[in-house]
Chains A and B, each alone.
Chain A
Amino acid sequence: MSTSKISNAKISRRAALSGGAGLTFAFTLGVDGDDAAAQRPFVAGQPAPKTLNAYVKIAPNGIVTIFAPAAEMGQGIKTAIPLVIAEEMDAEWSRVQIEYAPVAPAYAHPVLRSQQVVGSLSLRGYWMPARTAGAQARRVLMEAAAKRLNVPMAELSTEPGFVVHKASGRRLGYGEIARTAEVPATLPEIKPEELKPTSQFRLLGKDVGRRDVPAKTTGREIYSIDVAVPGMLYATVAYSPGRGIGFVSHNGADLNKMKGIVDVVKLAEGVGIVGSSTAAVLAARKALKVEWAKPQGAPVDSEQNRLAYLADAVNLEKKAVIGRPGGDAAATALEKTSAAMAAAAKTVSVDVTTDYVYHAQMEPVGCLASVTGSGPDTRVELWTGTQWATNAVETAARILGIPADQIPQKVKLNQLGMGGGYGRRIFNDYVSDAVALSMAVAKPVKMVLSREDDFANGRLRPMTAHRVTAGLDGAGKVVGVRHRIAADTVVPYLYNQARMDAQKGVDHIVFAGADMPYYDVSNHMAEHIYEDHGVRTAAWRGIGAGANTFAVEALIDELAAAAGQDPYAYRMALIKNERAKKVLEAVARLADWSKKRPEGVGLGIAFGRLGLPIPPVGESMAATVAEVTVDRATNRIKVSNLWCAADVGLPVQPKNIQAQIQGSLIWGLSTALKERTTIKGGAIAEANYPDYDIIRQSDMPGIKIEVLRSGDVPLPVGELGLSTVIPAVAGGFFAATGKRIRNAPFLSARVRAALTA
């Protein structure tokens, strides 16, 4: 399944019938662009709307093609959603082949209302639509078989790939049925109770193996950087150091004389170099000299700014936007929380900071764009791995002046697997650049960023500083929590200002994980002091939770110490949710929390969760224990073991869940111990991997993950666990040394400062 064959052709039932080419089922996700519709519970059996798109087609030979609506970036989703459809269909999995769905409204994520792979929401979002699609396919096959065998529907059942009439021992293969069946004008409605009981799942819950894995072991998986079309040129882009900064001058005229160079092109925030090979354009890139425009205001120095952010978080005079609680409660939150704090017998405060971090995805961003025609005949075809397919085609259309309603005819996206997404590939600047370059030279252009420019164009997780304060009454109950977050904004730049305004200035990327729904605390509020210094930001794996959970769990640890209690016992007493308690108990057991460790070995524990407050998405939960020692000679923290217990709802592919949570823990560990992006003189200081320290093979702790099941719905997994690692490591550091460490990553200079504090 390494190449994507995408057809934008609307497949009508008539065409399927007349061609005798098998059976095509068209299903809707009930997407109608209406807010209310998106937030309806995911009930199956929505009546088919006027416009239908295909999820399943069946060839006469029995091969079932299932269309995957969500893009693969290593999280397993290109296999998982088709697997759900195949389960309900009772398809024979070995006879299923998977293709990417085209960009079309019928494939939009029900909550995101777009084909967008973010927030670990794909499997959860498509769960009911996919089950319904599979169940509908099965029903139509059975109805057709009933006609053919001349028996009542009630006497039929299915086995993988077959409709079976047990009474007479007859069976018909799905391909056999497909060859002659009539698809009804109105597709059958499937009620939720008609879906397969989870106890009968044959595929879901067992490892079937990811379909993309074999090609990834033979070099045959095609990424954006790999595609080629006839007549193609190559390009790279020299990126400016900051948002909105263009160039003043450059020596492009000299480059045009270099071998293989075709053109040097002006872009909004960079200089594009087009040539006849990657080697030629990368060589020209090295020879390129650019004078960049000066930024507005003082050039950014991230270390200085970090201290300024902290000052802002501490200074109550500094204006902030309240994001938690949301909605109407925000209006009275400050008053209520302030009153609670004023009446408190005691307050406890914690200040933490986190540095900027870069995605460091192994495949630099890129895209192949082929713009053809002119004026109203302009068309474009794109080949890229993107996390936001809908936006990719809309962006290309906007640049080319193609009206939105003509996108299906004039803009084609060939979705590819990504060599790492992690949030970076939501932002389709690489699509914009490729389209602009193809327009400039009137040829297909494959744009690839050099690693140095991928760094320079890094779209970072915000730098943050937090002051979290809890007010306690005389009995030690938490009667108020005020969480002030000074951080770069993301929503205006990842999306646009209009969206920020529609959200009343609440940056949901920054606020993720800031609230404390499972702890027994009253009058909690979280507020965001905007820090906007021209740094490029975007969503980074785990988004705000990576920073906010550090702050929250650091506060919990401080409260535990103030109460003279063990951090695990304190959490068990303060947590008011049964699922959360189970997860904490499980990790404590897994890590043998109560077993005394030798002097200098410390355990820390932290709780986090993942999901959306929009009902009924739901949240998954994780608790992590870190085993920490500190080398006093080098001031380096060593994490020997990470244990994690995770409640993921219904586990769909167990091995993949292990891999995703493991990956999340490694990302969290990397932000705890190693990686950060620094900005000096207004430019990102780290130029390439040697400058940017990430977790490598030799840094790996032992990792043990226990997966807990709750309920019958898969909950978000891809980013689960990431946010628990920094606080667990900080807690382990405290247990090992008696000192608190508050500034992530915990580099040796910061360890030294913490030890001598």
Chain B
Amino acid sequence: MVAITVNGRRRNVDADPSTPLLWVLRDDLKLTGTKYGCGVAACGACTVHLDGQPVRSCSVKLGDVGRKAVTTIEGLSTDGQHPLQKAWVEAQAPQCGYCQSGQIMQAAGLLSKTPNPSRDQIVRHMDGNLCRCGSYPQIVEAIERAAKGGRS
């Protein structure tokens, strides 16, 4: 049994400490908002926060989480009204939507450190998150909108 804190709650997980956190979240804790895209930290679909920092959960072992707080897309807000989520809807950013949890979590990590990022900073920060549908411009638009406090 391994105990970790996920979205503010202490959870006990009956899984091997070598299990990738991604599968603990998805299969053990039924938090399927975090997605599997590649398993090798090359696409960003599995992005969650550890103590507020974006990490690729496919490449974090359960046993290495320790006391760090895990936040998933489900924990970003209780009601879908996080400024990024609202901005994402305004921009109609998601197409197939599969990469978007990871995109939003990555973006949240940026805004918590850099509340007013330049476009260049946004692009560099988000560059590791692939979007096959090509919603990149709307992602940037949404981040800029959220950074401005929801005003475009």
Q: Which residues of A contact B (CB under 8 A)?
A: 73-76, 207, 209-210, 212-223, 225-226, 228, 234, 259, 277-279, 282, 360-364, 417-422, 448, 450-452, 655-656, 659, 662-663, 665-667, 688-690, 694-698, 700, 703
Known: A420-B133, A694-B132, A696-B130. A218 touches B96 (CB 8 A): no
Query: Complex formed: what's the CA distance from A363 to B43 in Å?
Result: 11
CB pair B134 A666 closer than 8 Å? yes
CB pair B27 A74 closer than 8 Å? no
For the complex of A and B, 6 pairs with smallest distance between CB atoms: A219-B33, A419-B98, A216-B97, A74-B95, A74-B96, A666-B134
Report the nearest B residue to A452, measured CB to CB. B39
Among B28, B37, B72, B93, find the residue whose CB has the most chain A CB atoms closer than 10 A: B37
Q: Which of B37, B72, B84, B136 contacts A700 (CB 8 A)?
A: B136
CB pair A659 B138 closer than 8 Å? yes
> Would you call B45 an interface residue if the criterion is a C-beta within 8 Å of the partner chain's C-beta atoms?
yes
| B contact residues around A663 at 8 Å (CB) | 95, 133-135
- Contact indicator per residue, chain B 84-98, by CB within 8 Å of chain A (1) or not (0): 110011001111111
Closest CB-CB distance, A189 to chain B, in whole Å? 38
Q: Which of B20, B45, B104, B129 contacts A217 (CB 8 A)?
A: B104
CB pair B74 A219 closer than 8 Å? yes
| A contact residues around B129 at 8 Å (CB) | 697
> Would you call B99 an interface residue if the criterion is a C-beta within 8 Å of the partner chain's C-beta atoms?
yes
CB pair A213 B96 closer than 8 Å? no
Report the nearest B residue to A221, measured CB to CB. B97
Complex A-B: 6 CB contacts under 8 Å: A213-B94, A226-B32, A363-B96, A451-B40, A663-B134, A697-B126
Known: A663-B133, A697-B129. A277 touches B38 (CB 8 A): no
Which range contains the number of B residues in contact with the other chain? 35 or more
Report the nearest B residue to A214, measured CB to CB. B89
Q: Which of B99, B134, B136 contacts A667 (CB 8 A)?
A: B134
Among residues 110 to 134 in chain B, which have CB atoms less than 8 Å away from a CB atom of chain A? 123-124, 126-127, 129-134
Query: Complex formed: what's the CA distance from A690 to B43 in Å?
Result: 9
Q: Which of A420, A450, A666, A703 contacts B96 (CB 8 A)?
A: A420
Query: Complex formed: what's the CA distance from A422 to B34 in Å?
Result: 22
Query: Complex formed: what's the CA distance from A448 to B35 in Å?
Result: 12
> Would you call B15 an interface residue if the criterion is a C-beta within 8 Å of the partner chain's C-beta atoms?
yes
Query: Complex formed: what's the CA distance from A667 to B95 in Å?
Result: 14
> Would you call B4 an interface residue if the criterion is a C-beta within 8 Å of the partner chain's C-beta atoms?
no
CB pair A213 B16 closer than 8 Å? no
Query: Complex formed: what's the CA distance from A663 to B92 in Å?
Result: 13
Please count the residue pairs between chain A and chain B whose beta carbons lie under 8 angstroms apart in the complex. Answer: 171
CB pair A700 B94 closer than 8 Å? no
CB pair A697 B42 closer than 8 Å? no
Report the nearest B residue to A669, measured CB to CB. B134
CB pair B72 A662 closer than 8 Å? no
| B contact residues around A217 at 8 Å (CB) | 80, 84-85, 88-89, 93-94, 100, 104
> Would you call B139 an interface residue if the criterion is a C-beta within 8 Å of the partner chain's C-beta atoms?
yes
| B contact residues around A698 at 8 Å (CB) | 123-124, 127
Query: Complex formed: what's the CA distance from A360 to B45 in Å?
Result: 13
> Would you call B30 an interface residue if the criterion is a C-beta within 8 Å of the partner chain's C-beta atoms?
yes
| B contact residues around A277 at 8 Å (CB) | 15, 23, 27-28
Q: Which of B43, B85, B88 contacts A689 (CB 8 A)?
A: B43
Query: Complex formed: what's the CA distance from A152 to B42 in Å?
Result: 66
| A contact residues around B89 at 8 Å (CB) | 209, 213-214, 217
Known: A277-B27, A420-B96. A362 touches B127 (CB 8 A): no
| A contact residues around B35 at 8 Å (CB) | 223, 225, 362-363, 419
Query: Complex formed: what's the CA distance from A378 to B51 in Å?
Result: 50
Among B24, B36, B43, B138, find the residue whose CB has the most chain A CB atoms closer than 10 A: B36
Query: Complex formed: what's the CA distance from A540 to B72 in Å?
Result: 33
| A contact residues around B126 at 8 Å (CB) | 697
Query: Complex formed: what's the CA distance from A418 to B95 in Å?
Result: 10
Query: Complex formed: what's the CA distance from A410 to B138 in Å?
Result: 43
CB pair A210 B92 closer than 8 Å? yes
CB pair B137 A451 closer than 8 Å? no
Among B89, B94, B127, find the residue whose CB has the most chain A CB atoms closer than 10 A: B94
CB pair A218 B39 closer than 8 Å? no
CB pair B95 A279 closer than 8 Å? no
Closest CB-CB distance, A460 to chain B, in whole Å? 15
| A contact residues around B133 at 8 Å (CB) | 74, 420, 663
CB pair A417 B37 closer than 8 Å? no
Q: Which of B45, B124, B130 contacts A694 (CB 8 A)?
A: B130
Report the nearest A residue to B129, measured CB to CB. A697
CB pair B37 A421 closer than 8 Å? no
Q: Which of A219, A361, A421 contacts B34 (CB 8 A)?
A: A219
Closest CB-CB distance, B22 to chain A, in whole Å? 8
Q: Which of A228, A659, A697 contacts B92 (CB 8 A)?
A: A659
Report the nearest A residue to B99, measured CB to CB. A362
Query: Complex formed: what's the CA distance from A210 to B91 in Å?
Result: 11
Closest CB-CB distance, A17 to chain B, in whole Å? 39
Further pairs besides A225-B35, A362-B98: 4, Cβ < 8 Å: A213-B92, A213-B94, A663-B95, A697-B136
